[in-house]
Amino acid sequence: MPALHPMTAMTRDDGDSGDPRECYNPTVFKTLVIAAWFLGATAFAQQQPTPTPSAQPQVKLNYLNVCGPSEEEQTQIKNALDTIPSKAAFIQDFEITRGVTTLKDAAPAKFVRLRREFSPESPFLTAQFSLSTDAASIVETLVLRTRDPKNFHEISFEDRATSGAASPQAMLTVDTPVNRIRVERLTKSSVVLARCEGADQSAYEPLFRQASNIMAQYRQALGLRSAFRSDLAWLSGENSARHNEPASEPKKKPK
């Protein structure tokens, strides 16, 4: 019978498992132990949660210098003003609405609004004029929306007066000058120029003057002084006392 190699495993006939080293080649056993350790370490690593970054996402804030826009922003406002046609051509359709808005811890505000569409040949799509009043002020706003928002989406003009100093009718009659211009752009921040008390804004007077002239032209083109006649009376509250009066009793016919 040939002699067994010293590293060869011996088989037991009595069914007893015995020492594992008696049943397996030591090299195979070592390889199996290393493989088992590697698999266990891999499974443990997979069970560990992925660490989340502790850094918070950055928040970017844009501040608008409405009292003193840069030269580039002034140019953008000027270019937007120059695209507005001096003679507006509207289609026949129009829409007039009026209502009351309420805010928390504030007095109710009444408004009237006129919306008209430009003719298809115009570079602008719609014009919307609104006049609102509350216990503190009267605000007049004109918004012109472009047909192609490549350069800018819309431009708005605003002026206001103290409620006790003027009436809604007077706001339309005297052509109140604009005190705020805003150019809205779809992919960039807005460009705003506003009147600021105490600030030297002499460099921006040409822009305010041009905007005020446009506002005056569109008051006339929209027919505000005639189309809003009954709505302005409602806005001023001229008919409120009449509406609150109790109905008079019908006169009895003499017998």
Q: What is the pLDDT of residues 51-64, one digit of tens each?
A: 555 666 766 556 66
Q: Name the residue with higher pLDDT: 27 or 86.
A: 86
What's the pLDDT at 177? 93
What's the mean per-residue pLDDT of the chain? Answer: 78
Pairing assessment for the beta strands 180-184 and 124-133 based on DSSP bridges: unpaired
**Phi-psi label, residue 223: left if phi above 0, alpha if psi -120 to 50, beta otherwise:** left
Pairing assessment for the beta strands 90-101 and 154-162 based on DSSP bridges: unpaired
Residue matched to tokens 């370490």: 41
3-state secondary structure of 44: helix
Q: In terms of DSSP H, where are the helices of 137-228? A: 168-173, 205-221, 224-227
**Phi-psi label, residue 79: left if phi above 0, alpha if psi -120 to 50, beta otherwise:** alpha
Q: How does pLDDT run across 70-93, given as a tens digit for each residue?
A: 999 999 999 999 999 988 999 999
CA dihedral 106, 108, 112, 118 (to 10 degrees): 30
Does the pLDDT at position 1 exceed 80? Answer: no
State the Cα–Cα distance between residues 126 and 142, nearest whole angstrom: 11
The winner for highest mean pLDDT among 8-12, 129-133, 169-173 is: 129-133
Amino acid at 147: R
Confidence of residue 237 (pLDDT cuts 50, 70, 90): confident
Count of CA atoms in the C-beta half-sphere (13 A) of 226: 4
Strand extents, DSSP E, the chain: 90-101, 109-118, 124-133, 137-146, 154-162, 180-184, 191-194
| Contact predicate 195/157, CB 8 Å | no
What's the pLDDT at 35? 52
Confidence of residue 26 (pLDDT cuts 50, 70, 90): low
Percent over 90 (pLDDT), the chain: 44
Does the pLDDT at position 252 exceed 80? Answer: no
The arrangement of strands across the sheet holding 154-162 comes to 90-101, 109-118, 124-133, 137-146, 154-162, 180-184, 191-194
**DSSP letters for 154-169:** EEEEEEEEETTT--HH
For the chain, give the longest Cα–Cα distance: 153
Residue matched to tokens 């000058």: 177
